[in-house]
Structure formats: structure tokens, C-alpha cells
Chain A
Amino acid sequence: MKIAIPVDEKDMGTKVCVSFGRTPYFLIYDTETKKSTFLDNSAAASAGGAGIKAAQTIADNEINALLTPRCGENASGLLKDAGIRIFKTINVQAQDNIDDFIAGKLSLLNEIHAGFHGHGGN
């Protein structure tokens, strides 16, 4: 299965990015091949609706699970429609979250914030 994490840098030592919609990159990790790749987030510089665009990117890349600290309402709705499950990160480092996810320690993200509609939302 493929998991995605919003991250600050294109490096395995990277931290998780606090924003899903405006993260610069996504770390994509394949649990079967144990391979990692990085994906640019084209939504990062959007004027609005960044979460929607980022969710589209995640859905288009056939991701099965997203690990993120937060996620807006519009984006989470789309991800749900696409059959992607959202888990809440508990560690600062991306790698630690991958390990904890595989160990079954992450729980589903249930607080969904309403987003900042209109100007500069994510």
C-alpha cells in the first residue's frame, strides 16, 4: 500500500509539514517495495482552495492512506470519496510516523477543521 505524508523537505530526515494543503512536498512511501519518493505539491502557492488541489494530487497518485497533522473539511471529503483513509501523525519526524503507522499506532484523524474559505485557505 502507498502512504503519503506532507513534508518540509525532500529528504528522509524531513519533518512533517503542519499544513496539508500548503505543504511543499509529499513523501510517498510504498509499504511493499519499501521505496520512498517525493512529490511536489502544486497547490502550495494557490490563492485559495489549496486543500482541494492537494487532495486531487493525492487521489491521482493512487495513495491508500494519508498521514497528516491536520486536514480541512473540503479536502477530507474528497479523500474520503476517493477511498483514502486519513491518519493523524503523532511524531515530528516523517520516518517515525511511517514506523508507527506500520506498527498500527496511528489513529484515524477525526477532528476536521472547517478550513479558511475564500482567502488563503488550506
Chain B
Amino acid sequence: MRIAVLSGKGGTGKTLVSVNLAATAKMSIYIDCDVEEPNGYLFFKPEDVQEEAISVKIPKVDNELCNGCRKCIGFCKFNALAYIKDKLIVFDEVCHSCSGCVMLCPEKALSEKEKIIGRVQKGTSDQVAVYTGILNVGEASGIPVIKKLLVENKLKADKHTFIDCPPGSACTVIESIKDADYCILVAEPTLFGVHNLNMVYELVRLFGKQYGVILNKCLEEENPAEKFCLEKNIKILGRIPFDTELGTLNSNAEIAVRKSEKYLDMFSLLLEAVTREV
């Protein structure tokens, strides 16, 4: 079962939820797809880490062959190419590696070269297999790194797999939830939290995913995110109270369920609620 954890913005508790659910499930897989700012590994502190570089293909020009027809420039919808002073220039970090320009160049002036854009790491933490994707700073797209992470784990669908998605609703999030069986939306109890929740709510509906909400940082007072769920008839999987002990464990990059029975009980109930849904 593949469970994606989403939130409309960073700092909502997405990593707290995915890390603790994966640790509660014990024999599980945790995949950090937040490739621009992965932090799940800080909690798991995985051992026996293996690393693999991820590269993409970037066009390379032979200016001897290029006649300046600019067909490639017209084609590139990312504007990664320019022709200045009789020379074609490729902006590597703007290129999205679609290979289109290479295929259409009538002079065969473009060929492909490999360029490393990031890496994936795999390690273990107790019985959890921890996968992390890391995108190098300034790269155009994290999609190739995310693809690698998810393709690698496609066959192991018998274990509980938790996918820690990038924040927001950009194309990297879509890539991360594509093959998920279920989506958990993490929401904060503020009006701004409702706005963020609505973003991911619309996304999972658009992709026809099953979903439910975990309300994080809950206080006694009125919770706008809860109200939103009730109005829209969205399943509430559970509530995580606002709690300084949990906050401290989390900010010290500790996995709460490995530190205290109380939290293990709480996340076990959440995990049960999720598995019941799928």
C-alpha cells in the first residue's frame, strides 16, 4: 500500500506524520520526495547508506554544424536556448531534458551529454527502508529524482510505503502522488491552514485519489480546518494535539513513536484509521 502525505505548505507537519507513521508500521518504506529540502533522513538517521547519482540528458551544440536556423529555439518551451553572435547557447539549468531540440535539429548540430542533477540515497533505520532524493541547488526540475525514487519502489507494494511529498501542489507533487493508493492531507488549525488544505484537496480530487485529513497542532478552541472538512464531507483520520513535548521531540529530529509509548499509541490509531480506508 502506497500512502502519500501532502500539505499545502512546508512546516505543517507533513514530515512529522510520514516519519512517525512509517516508524509505527515497522516493516515499511519511507520515501522522501521533498527533493529540494529533504529532512526525513534527519529523523531516521539511516545506516548503511548507499548513494546513486541521478543524471539527465542536456543538449550540446556543435557550432561548426549549426547554421542558426533557430528551429530549436522556437521549439523549446522552457526558453533554454538562445542564438547570440552566431552562436547557439544552451542554459543547462533551465533545460528540462525533453530531447526535442536534439531530435528536430535539421543539421544534426545537437547531441546529448549527461549532467548530474542530484542523487538518491538508500539506508535503513530499524526495520524501515529510508529513501531520500536530493536535488542539486539551482536545477530546473526535481522530477527525474522523484521518478527514480518511485520506480525503484514500485515492486515492493506489499510493504507499507510512505511518500513524503514536496509542499504545495506543483508538478513535483503530482509526480509524487501519481501511483499512490491513498493520500493523507495534513492541515493546521488556522484560516491560512484552510487555504493550504484546499490547494491539496483540489489536487487529490482532480487526480481521483482516495484521501483523508490529519488535523495537526489541535487546540481546544475552534478549528477552521476541521470546519472545512465537515463542510466538504472530508474524512478526518485523526487529530494530533498541540503539545510541547511532541514539538520538542520533533524539533530535535527525534521520532516521537520511538521515544514514548504515548505517541506510539497515538500514531498506531492513526495508522489503523488510514489502513481501514484503503
Asked whether, in the complex, the Cβ of A48 is within 8 Å of the Cβ of B82, the reply is no
B151: CB under 8 A from chain A? no
The smallest C-beta distance from B195 to any residue of chain A, in angstroms, reads 20
Which chain B residues lie closer than 8 Å to A48 at the CB level?
78-79, 94, 140
With A47-B78, A48-B78, A48-B140 as known contacts, state yes or no: A78 contacts B84, CB within 8 Å: yes
Which chain B residues lie closer than 8 Å to A46 at the CB level?
77, 79
Which chain A residues lie closer than 8 Å to B76 at the CB level?
49
B236: CB under 8 A from chain A? no
A19: CB under 8 A from chain B? no
Per DSSP, are chain B's interface residues mostly helix, strand or loop, or mixed? loop
Asked whether, in the complex, the Cβ of B140 is within 8 Å of the Cβ of A81, the reply is no
B170: CB under 8 A from chain A? yes
Asked whether, in the complex, the Cβ of B138 is within 8 Å of the Cβ of A56, the reply is no
Q: Residue-by-residue, is B72-99 near A (CB-CB < 8 Å gives 1, otherwise 0)?
A: 0100111111111101010101100000
Which chain B residues lie closer than 8 Å to A56 at the CB level?
73, 82-84
Per DSSP, are chain A's interface residues mostly helix, strand or loop, or mixed? loop
Asked whether, in the complex, the Cβ of A50 is within 8 Å of the Cβ of B79, the reply is yes
A15: CB under 8 A from chain B? no
The smallest C-beta distance from A119 to any residue of chain B, in angstroms, reads 7
The smallest C-beta distance from A40 to any residue of chain B, in angstroms, reads 16
Which chain A residues lie closer than 8 Å to B89 at the CB level?
78, 81
Which chain B residues lie closer than 8 Å to A81 at the CB level?
84-85, 87, 89
Asked whether, in the complex, the Cβ of A117 is within 8 Å of the Cβ of B94, the reply is yes
B141: CB under 8 A from chain A? yes
Asked whether, in the complex, the Cβ of B84 is within 8 Å of the Cβ of A53, the reply is no
The smallest C-beta distance from A77 to any residue of chain B, in angstroms, reads 9
Asked whether, in the complex, the Cβ of B140 is within 8 Å of the Cβ of A118, the reply is yes
- A43 — nearest CB in chain B belongs to which residue? B79
Asked whether, in the complex, the Cβ of A82 is within 8 Å of the Cβ of B85, the reply is yes
Asked whether, in the complex, the Cβ of B91 is within 8 Å of the Cβ of A52, the reply is yes
With A46-B79, A47-B77, A119-B170 as known contacts, state yes or no: A52 contacts B84, CB within 8 Å: no
Enumerate chain A interface residues (CB-CB to B < 8 A). 43, 46-50, 52-53, 55-56, 59, 74, 78, 81-83, 117-119, 121
Enumerate chain B interface residues (CB-CB to A < 8 A). 73, 76-85, 87, 89, 91, 93-94, 138-141, 170
Can you give 9 contacting A-B residue pairs, CB < 8 Å?
A43-B79, A46-B79, A52-B81, A52-B91, A74-B94, A81-B84, A81-B85, A117-B138, A118-B94
* Known interface pairs A52-B91, A81-B85, A118-B140; 19 further A-B residue pairs with C-beta atoms within 8 A, sorted by A's residue number: A43-B79, A46-B77, A48-B78, A49-B76, A49-B80, A52-B81, A52-B94, A53-B79, A55-B82, A55-B84, A56-B82, A74-B91, A74-B94, A78-B89, A82-B85, A83-B85, A117-B93, A117-B138, A117-B139
Which 7 A-B pairs rank lowest in CB-CB distance, beginning with the nearest? A49-B79, A53-B79, A52-B79, A118-B140, A49-B94, A82-B84, A56-B82
